[in-house]
Structure 1
Amino acid sequence: MKKLKTALINLQCEMVAQRNIVNPDYISWLQYDILYQLNKQKEILPSELSILLGTSRTKLSKALKELKTLEYIQQYPNKLDGRELYTSISKKGKDFLNNVLEKHNSLYETTNEVLTQEEQDKFEELSTKVSNALKEKRVNNYE
């Protein structure tokens, strides 16, 4: 069990280091995650985004304000409740995210080089299983 814990910590550290390398505008982790989620959907309310990302509304609000200043997101009022703003990713935000994601290809290339096809398939299966379990726990804690 100790080996698994060490392996997970090492992998997380390497992923963080890779993320730092490809972040030219030095946006925060939360801001990157916001852009990533917004890129997957057309628009979302901050309350929903807060649950999805497992962060407080206060932290999310600050991150959204900074992303809006950078012109990476757009916001407009909810017609049913003007206090909430629908949020979507802007073209500038998509361009930034696509640039970062393109640079993330080194992760794929390295993995492709060091793992056999069978190992890649198993890694994908197990990574998805753990990611989904972590996400489910986080989301359930906010409900």
Structure 2
Amino acid sequence: MKNNKLYQTLMDLQCELVAERNLVNPGQINWLQYDILSVLQDHARKPTVLSRQLGIKQAKLSKNFTKLRKLGYIKQTPDIQDHRELITEITAKGLTFMDDIAEKHGELYNKAQKIWSKKEQEQFILLANKLIAVLRKDRIGNE
């Protein structure tokens, strides 16, 4: 399979995107912690919902919350309806961190815009979203 062009291209793209991600986040947080912050940008969530959405066990999520709290990127408060549950939300510092990363994503976007024609951009969007939908559905199901 490694000689398959599609396989190799997907692996190369993944490696390049990881390298780009590392440029904007040199060792401060791991990928899962980035994903947690990314999801929390929309709105606060309970750990049960977040773990299902990210496709990980709550114990793993809890370990990553520890570092994000120490960095001041998230805060957790008891749920008003069920004090045993915590509501996790991104802080202003966490939003600033994510904004800095978004700026780097903007640079990646500008590069893609320069090298692809409008038609190529539309094809990429269509094909990438098709793959993203399948991956997401397989991971978190129909919520």
Question: Shared topology, TM-score over 0.5?
Answer: yes
Query: Distance between the aligned counterparts of 2:101 and 2:10, measured in 1?
Result: 23
Query: Distance between the aligned counterparts of 1:113 and 1:96, measured in 2?
Result: 27
Gap regions ≥5 residues in structure 1: none
Query: Distance between the aligned counterparts of 1:36 and 1:10, measured in 2?
Result: 23
Matches within 5 A, 1:58-77: 58-77=59-78
Q: TM-score, normalised by structure 1?
A: 0.92
> RMSD in angstroms over aligned alpha carbons?
1.7
2:82 corresponds in structure 1 to: 81
1:123 CA drift (Å): 0.4
1:36 corresponds in structure 2 to: 38
Q: TM-score, normalised by structure 2?
A: 0.92
2:10 corresponds in structure 1 to: 8
Query: Distance between the aligned counterparts of 1:24 and 1:77, measured in 2?
Result: 32
1:81 CA drift (Å): 2.1
Secondary structure class of the residue paired with 1:68: helix
Letter in structure 1 aligned against 2:23: I
Secondary structure class of the residue paired with 1:104: helix
How many aligned residue pairs are there?
141
Q: Rate the CA distance shift 1:25–1:94 in 2: closer, same or farther, 3 A.
A: farther
1:95 corresponds in structure 2 to: 96
CA deviation map 1:36-88 (0-9, x unaligned): 00002x21001100011111111100111111111101110112222210011
1:109 corresponds in structure 2 to: 110
Gap regions ≥5 residues in structure 2: none
Runs of 4+ in 1 over 3 A off after TM superposition: none
1:8 CA drift (Å): 0.5
Query: Distance between the aligned counterparts of 2:21 and 2:112, measured in 1?
Result: 16
Query: Distance between the aligned counterparts of 1:39 and 1:53, measured in 2?
Result: 14
Farther-moved stretch of structure 1 (60-69 vs 100-109): 100-109
Query: Distance between the aligned counterparts of 1:127 and 1:138, measured in 2?
Result: 16
Query: Distance between the aligned counterparts of 2:137 and 2:117, measured in 1?
Result: 30
